[in-house]
Each structure stands twice: as structure tokens, then as C-alpha cells.
Structure 1
Amino acid sequence: MLVSIPQALDLINEKVTPLDGEIIPIEYSVGRVVQDSYTANFNLPRFDNSAMDGYAVKVSDAGSTVLCTQVIYAGDNPSIELKIGHAIKIMTGAPIPKGCEAIVPIEDVTIEQDKVTLPGNIKMGNFIRLAGEDIAKDTTYLHQGEVINAYTVASLASQGVTHITVNRKIKIAIFGTGDELRPHFEKIEDHQLYNSNSPMFLTRSKELGCEVRFIRSSADTLEALQDSVASVLDADIIITSGGVSVGDKDFTKEAFTNLGMQIHFEKVDIKPGRPTVFGTIGRTVVVNLPGNPLASMVNYELFIRAIIRKMSGRNDARHGTVTTIMGEELKLKGGKTTALLGTFDGKSFTPIHNQKPGMVSPMQKADGMILLSPDIAHLSINSTVKMIPLRWESCTEKTEDLINRFSE
């Protein structure tokens, strides 16, 4: 079944389900996806407090000289009350005393012994941080499906939360196929190739926060492939590369289907990377990528990243794009939905010259990727395009049209 890129992503969103959760300390939660929503148990700040080192005053005392004989420090629990004609010295973060209407910063007053001369204009509530103005009690400050960062941890800590429920880490099993492929740490003969795909996907999957197992390349026999597949069915995602085309020894798809894989798509309308299989065996997701490195990298970034986001429980599991301009003129044959890698300098996207499905070198240079509809054969410099970032995440909860469909 041949599907378009949008259809493939819709099927992934439909068939992939989020993982179960685990409870971990908040200090170890960065990059994880929160499984529950969290509601504030109390106001933040918990009490009205001073935003400055200065003086607690009455607004009606503006422009006058008042008496100051008391001071409140952060951490104090004051029982004093401010009266007209008086000021109370106060430190940043200290609780506001009863009767205080504003804080005057220390640099705005004149001090002579216990006498303080106030400025002529004092605004009601000036430099007072109100209880709950940051986070109000009973409001939700962290929603299910959000990705936790260091500043999320700050919010959790401010509420006294020590542990948090997150979706567990995704377990990925990766192996290659092909008698000609050898591990990169072995010597090879002239007729053999190093397996660059498996180490690439292993490290990329780790970079995306997954736990990864590497299975050495399986021989190109149906029995060997089935044994390899059966050994990793406890994984959440199984990734293979190679053996998904129509060669005499391309047994990968057959090996998986013999073990019960339900195929959701097996060809994608994309150049490069058409022979790509997405299926499931129970809750285990299977992706068979092409053997050509650049082709499989393109489809990893398009489809496996989407699978990882959805499986991790993220709300924003869909690809987002960055709108930019072409850094140079582009001419291509057209006629097929095409993926092009390129560099992005923050202002424009420039396609990498000489990128072919079997190449490795363009991948390490790429910052982003553009998808072009079959009717596009020419893009002029400064043409507006939508780019999918590769070096960072651009995500959305809504389905976004990823393909540049206009023509010139």
C-alpha cells in the first residue's frame, strides 16, 4: 500500500499509543513527559511580600518625613502594624506588614538617623508581590503531555513536589540486515560494507531520550531474521534497515509478518525512501527502513521521530515547521514528492549539493529538511519555504501541512 507523507503520519498517530508511567524524583525528570496534570496546593508567593529592599509606607505619607524604628527581614513573621507617619524598613522577600500600602526602594528616600524623607509620588501597591500572582492555589501549572525542562522543575519544587509521574523511557531495538554488512569495529573485505545505519539510529535514538539495544546484523535468510525479531519483541520499537525492497534476499517484511505483524503501510510517496514499512506486533511498533543511509535517515526523522513523540505521551506529537526563505536558487526534476536536506543559518535554507540516497556525508551537515510536492521543479532565491528542523524540535498539537506545494 502506497501512502502519502501526511497519510503515513496520520496512521502513526492513530496506531501508536503512549506508554505506561513511572514515578521518579523531579531532579531526574528533565526531558521526560509528564503523565498527570499537577495543581497548586498553595499560592506562590505564599504571602504578600516586598519586591525591593526599601521601606513599607502609607501612600498618604508621600513627600513627608516619617519615623522608622523597625525592620522586617526575609523569613520573619511580623506581627507589627504600620501606622500613618511611620515607615518600616523591609528587605526583599520579607512579608508585608499589616497596613502597608506600598514599598519605596531604599535609593528613593533620604535617611537621617531614624527619620526617612519619602518621595512626593508613591503609587498604591508599588513593589508589593501579591500572594498567588505567580501561581494561584488550585490552578493547574503543569499539564499532562508536557515535556519537563529545568524551569518546570522549579515550579514543581516551589510547590514542594519531590516525585513526579512520567511516561517511562521508550525501549528501542535496532538491527541491520545484509550479509555484506559488517560492524564498524571489524576488518572488512573489499566486497563488504560497514554498517553505518545501526550505529546512526542507536545514537540518534539515545539522543532523543530512548533506551536502545543493538542487535548485530542478521544474515539474509528468513530463519535468521525471524530469530532476531523474536528476540526483541519485548521492545517498544523495533527498527531495521535494509531488506525491505524487492530483491531475491529481501526477507525482512516476511520475517515480521510471519511473527504476526499487522502492516499499516509499506511504501511512502517520497524520494528518497519509498520502501518503508510501518507495522505493529501487539503494542510493539516495527519500522523497516531502506538500506541506503540518507534515505533511511530522512524517514527516521519524518516517521520514527513522530512515533517517539506519540509513544512518549507528548501532546505536541506532530511535526512543526519553520518558515524561512531559500538561500539560493534550486532546480530539480520534479514529478515526485521530494525530501531535500539543507543548512539553516537562522535566516535562510540552502540545500546541500550532491545528496543521493546512498550517501552519508550530507547527513552530518544538515540542519533541516524541506518537502517538495511533485509540481515543484524550480525555486528561486528568497522563495518562502517551510522547513522541518533536524537539530532541534519544532512540534505542534495540530496537524500541519509539511509539504511545500506551490510552484513557480
Structure 2
Amino acid sequence: MVSIEDGLELVYQESRPKATELIPIEKSLNRVISKNIQSRHSLPNFDNSAMDGYGVSIVDVGKRVKIEKTIFAGDEVEGVELSAGSCFKIMTGAKIPKGVNAIIPFEDVESPVDGYIQLPNSIKPNNHIRKAGEDIQIGETIIQKGERITPYTIGLLASQGISHIEVFRKPKIVVFATGKELKMHYETIAPHQIYNSNSPMIVAKSELLGADVSFVNIASDSKEEIKRAIQNSLYADMIVTSGGVSVGEADKTKESFRELGMTTIFEKVDIKPGKPTTFGKIGDTLVLNLPGNPSAGLINFEIFGKASILGLSGDREKELDVIDCEIGEDLKVKPGKRTVVLGVFDGGVFRPLKKRAPGMVKPLAESNGFIILEKEVSKIEAGSFVKFIPTKFSWFSDFRKSLITYI
């Protein structure tokens, strides 16, 4: 049996990206970059005006100067030079002509009289001028290997005239579940059967993490069917199963994997729920066997499955992160094992769910994360600090909050 930390280390050691591909930036959202990217151009690539205003020379401070011409963004200013006693009207984004070393916003001067304006008595050099390269210097590393592409990194790439990038191939994940008592949600069930909720959740979560996911028809509890499902899945980077890993005569999943040559890396984890979680590989294909109880299985997928998929993706931000926060109420648990407690973090405090048994599905939908208690812990008092691990978390709320920071 391994600790959570040792299990994660073993998962990370085995979960590495295997290939790359070249794609257009328009198709790169949520993909992981496979090598550093340097800027091709400075940004901005010329000095330009940060405001609509007047381009002036500081030698004319406090003087009355004549408006000579208007310069718009995109205008060519080659050969244009400001002479003493003059100014230019200049618009935001326009290139700074020779002789202009400050911009005075329109609202900071009186309206023109007979084509002249009165300059203020104090003008700072380079006032409201965006200097070439102040955002990005040419040759600067703008995206690092292992970074996941966002809408804003796509904008960064576009600003450099980069049309295609090399990314790691999406991990190929195959999901199936064992158990003749299981039926898919679109099938009719008998009184002794249940719907398979685990596989749809694992598929959806894997896709959310950026994997290319396939679902193999549910294998029955016969080893022949299980082996056939496994053999049909060995093209994948990882196979994820749920069910058939506990101690019992009908739990034949691990036995079927072993007979097909699976090397077991670990087969029990010091965690409650989900102790029977097993991780191994057949050839180059990783295998994650999860418990069949929905909450137990998906909690362990959130820990070990997520870590493996992020590792296979080449994502440098693959480590589980935590939010230190207070617990909003007293919590009692049975000591002896590291215990996972599902709950809700509202941006201020964490509140454990009242109902959170391993076989339940609803707690997974109601919670947005969990805490893991050390095995000696039997009680945590309200106001104590805990480490919250998000599972489905976004900084949005179902009610409006104040957005402004006050001193």
C-alpha cells in the first residue's frame, strides 16, 4: 500500500508526453506547448501615442504653439518632423513623428483659438508615449514549454505574426467499466441492475482536462469479455476502469489485466474512500483501475487520474494545488486512515457535505472540491485552517458581490 504522495510520484514518473504535432493557433485553445516560443517582433514595434491629444516638444513648455496637422493610427510619418513653435494633433496608436517627445491629452489644454493652443507650464518627457518594446522585447521568451494555451496566449501569438505552433499530442484515454449489473443511461434496466454513472463522469472529466477520450462498451464480469475490452484499448496512452478492484470472487478486473501482462506499480492507497485503487501498465499503456463506488472512484480519479492526464499532456502545472481556508463548522471523522471529505468552498470558508458516502453520486455534483485529513485526525473545529483541493471550480457566484477594492 502506498501513501497518496508516493502514489502521485509514481504516477508522474510514468505519465509523460509521447508525441507532438503542428497546429494553427486558431485550433490551439487548451493545448500544451511543446517548446519555448520567442518573440519575433518588439511590441509595440515603434513609439506610439497612448492618448488622443497633441504631440509636442518639451522645449515649447508654457508657450503658445500652432497646430500643423493631424496624425492617425496607421499613418506613415516618415519624413514628418515637428518644428519649434508647432504641434501635431495625434490619435491613440499613431506612430510618434520625429521631434515629438510628449503627448498632451486634449482634455488637459484649452480649446484651440485660431489654430493655436496654450501648452501647460510643466510637461514630462515621454508623457503618454508608449515606447517600442516596453511590452515585449524581440527575442524574449513569451510562452514556455508545458504552458497551456489560453485565449490570451493566442492573442500573444497573433501579436507576433505566429500562425502555427508545436504542441504535445492530446493523451488518448479509453474508459470502460466492468459489471453485468451495469447498464448505460439510454438502456432499460431490470430491478436488480443500476445505471453506469461512473464512466460518463470519467469521460467528461478527461475531456475537460484536454484528453482525446474513447468509451469501450461495458465489459461483463467474465474474464473473456474483460480481456477483449482491454485488448481493444491497448492503443491508448491510458485505460481507466471502474469496478472490479476490491477483494471478492466476482472482482476479476485486476486478474484479467495481470493475465495480459500488466505490471502493477501500486494496488492499494492509504486513503478512505478508494483504498483498492490500482495503477500499472501493459507495455506503453498505463492502467488506472478505480473502485466501483461512484464517490470513491471519482475522488481517486481527481487525484491520480487527473495527475496522469496532465503528465501525459506535458502540462508543467500538473501538481494538485490547494487553497488554504477556514472550515465553516465542526467536523468529526473516524481516525485511522487518511480521509477525504467532499464539500463546498464559497471563496471564504469550506463547508463539508452532510451526506458523502462512497457509493453516492449526488455529493460529486454538489461539491466543488475536498479536503484530505491525516489519519490521526478525529475532529476539526470551526475556524481551523484546512487545505481545500478544487474539483470543479470557477470564480463565479450565484449572487452578485462587490467587485471593488477599498483602502
* TM-score in same-fold range (> 0.5): yes
Aligned counterpart, 1:150: 151
Aligned counterpart, 1:96: 96
Q: Could you tell me how far apart the structure 1 residues matched to 2:180 and 2:52 are? A: 73
Contact 1:183 1:216 in 2 (8 A): no
- Residue correspondence of structure 1 range 184-203 to structure 2 within 5 A: 184-203=185-204
Deviations 1:335-365 (A, max 9, x none): 1100010011110000101211111111100
- Residue correspondence of structure 1 range 260-339 to structure 2 within 5 A: 260-339=261-340
Q: Could you tell me how far apart the structure 2 residues matched to 1:72 and 1:308 are? A: 53
Deviation at 1:41, TM superposition (A): 1.0
Q: Does 1:37 align with 2:40?
A: no
Deviations 1:120-163 (A, max 9, x none): 11101100001011110011111110011001011100000111
Q: Does 1:65 align with 2:64?
A: yes
Secondary structure at 1:318 match in 2: coil
Q: Could you tell me how far apart the structure 1 residues matched to 2:76 and 2:309 are? A: 50
Q: Could you tell me how far apart the structure 1 residues matched to 2:170 and 2:375 are? A: 38
Q: Could you tell me how far apart the structure 2 residues matched to 1:201 and 1:393 are? A: 20
Secondary structure at 1:342 match in 2: strand
Could you say if the C-alpha distance between residues 273 and 393 of structure 1 is closer, same or farther in structure 2, counting changes exceeding 3 Å?
farther
**What amino acid sits opposite 2:343 in the alignment?**
G
Greater Cα offset, 228-237 or 205-214 = 205-214
Q: Percent identity?
A: 47
Aligned counterpart, 1:48: 47
Deviation at 1:282, TM superposition (A): 2.4
Deviation at 1:268, TM superposition (A): 0.3
- Residue correspondence of structure 1 range 2-21 to structure 2 within 5 A: 2-21=1-20
**What amino acid sits opposite 2:37 in the alignment?**
Y
Deviation at 1:299, TM superposition (A): 0.2
Aligned counterpart, 1:243: 244
Q: Could you tell me how far apart the structure 2 residues matched to 1:184 and 1:76 are? A: 62
Secondary structure at 1:315 match in 2: coil
Aligned counterpart, 1:400: none
Contact 2:48 2:92 in 1 (8 A): yes
Q: Does 1:106 align with 2:71?
A: no
Aligned counterpart, 2:132: 131
Q: Name the TM-score, length of structure 2 as normaliser.
A: 0.94
Deviation at 1:393, TM superposition (A): 8.3
Q: Could you tell me how far apart the structure 2 residues matched to 1:302 and 1:231 are? A: 26
How many equivalent pairs are there? 393
Contact 1:5 1:270 in 2 (8 A): yes
**What amino acid sits opposite 1:365 in the alignment?**
E
Q: Could you tell me how far apart the structure 2 residues matched to 1:390 and 1:260 are? A: 33
Q: Could you tell me how far apart the structure 1 residues matched to 2:70 and 2:256 are? A: 78
- Residue correspondence of structure 1 range 341-360 to structure 2 within 5 A: 341-360=342-361
Q: Does 1:365 align with 2:363?
A: no
Greater Cα offset, 276-285 or 308-317 = 276-285
**What amino acid sits opposite 1:370 in the alignment?**
I
Q: Could you tell me how far apart the structure 1 residues matched to 2:201 and 2:80 are? A: 66
**What amino acid sits opposite 2:318 in the alignment?**
A
Secondary structure at 1:216 match in 2: coil
Secondary structure at 1:173 match in 2: strand
Contact 2:17 2:169 in 1 (8 A): no
Could you say if the C-alpha distance between residues 392 and 22 of structure 1 is closer, same or farther in structure 2, counting changes exceeding 3 Å?
farther
Greater Cα offset, 164-173 or 150-159 = 164-173
Secondary structure at 2:317 match in 1: coil
Q: Does 1:259 align with 2:260?
A: yes
**Misfit runs of 4+, over 4 Å:** none
Greater Cα offset, 203-212 or 289-298 = 203-212
Q: Could you tell me how far apart the structure 2 residues matched to 1:208 and 1:13 are? A: 16
Q: Could you tell me how far apart the structure 1 residues matched to 2:330 and 2:277 are? A: 30
Secondary structure at 1:307 match in 2: helix
Q: Could you tell me how far apart the structure 2 residues matched to 1:314 and 1:140 are? A: 17
Q: Could you tell me how far apart the structure 1 residues matched to 2:3 and 2:357 are? A: 21
Contact 2:209 2:310 in 1 (8 A): no
Secondary structure at 2:227 match in 1: helix
Aligned counterpart, 2:398: none
Deviation at 1:209, TM superposition (A): 2.1
Q: Could you tell me how far apart the structure 1 residues matched to 2:18 and 2:342 are? A: 32
Aligned counterpart, 2:227: 226
**What amino acid sits opposite 1:299 in the alignment?**
N
Aligned counterpart, 1:87: 87
Contact 1:178 1:218 in 2 (8 A): yes
Secondary structure at 2:216 match in 1: strand
**What amino acid sits opposite 2:51 in the alignment?**
M
Deviation at 1:238, TM superposition (A): 0.6
Aligned counterpart, 1:385: 386
Deviation at 1:104, TM superposition (A): 0.6
Greater Cα offset, 22-31 or 365-374 = 22-31
Gaps of 5+ in 2: 396-407
Q: Could you tell me how far apart the structure 2 residues matched to 1:169 and 1:115 are? A: 63
Could you say if the C-alpha distance between residues 31 and 392 of structure 1 is closer, same or farther in structure 2, counting changes exceeding 3 Å?
farther
Aligned counterpart, 2:206: 205
Aligned counterpart, 2:160: 159
Deviation at 1:202, TM superposition (A): 1.4
**What amino acid sits opposite 2:368 in the alignment?**
D
Secondary structure at 2:68 match in 1: coil
Q: Could you tell me how far apart the structure 2 residues matched to 1:249 and 1:383 are? A: 43
- Root-mean-square deviation over aligned CA pairs: 1.3
Q: Could you tell me how far apart the structure 1 residues matched to 2:304 and 2:394 are? A: 14
Q: Name the TM-score, length of structure 1 as normaliser.
A: 0.94
**What amino acid sits opposite 1:321 in the alignment?**
V
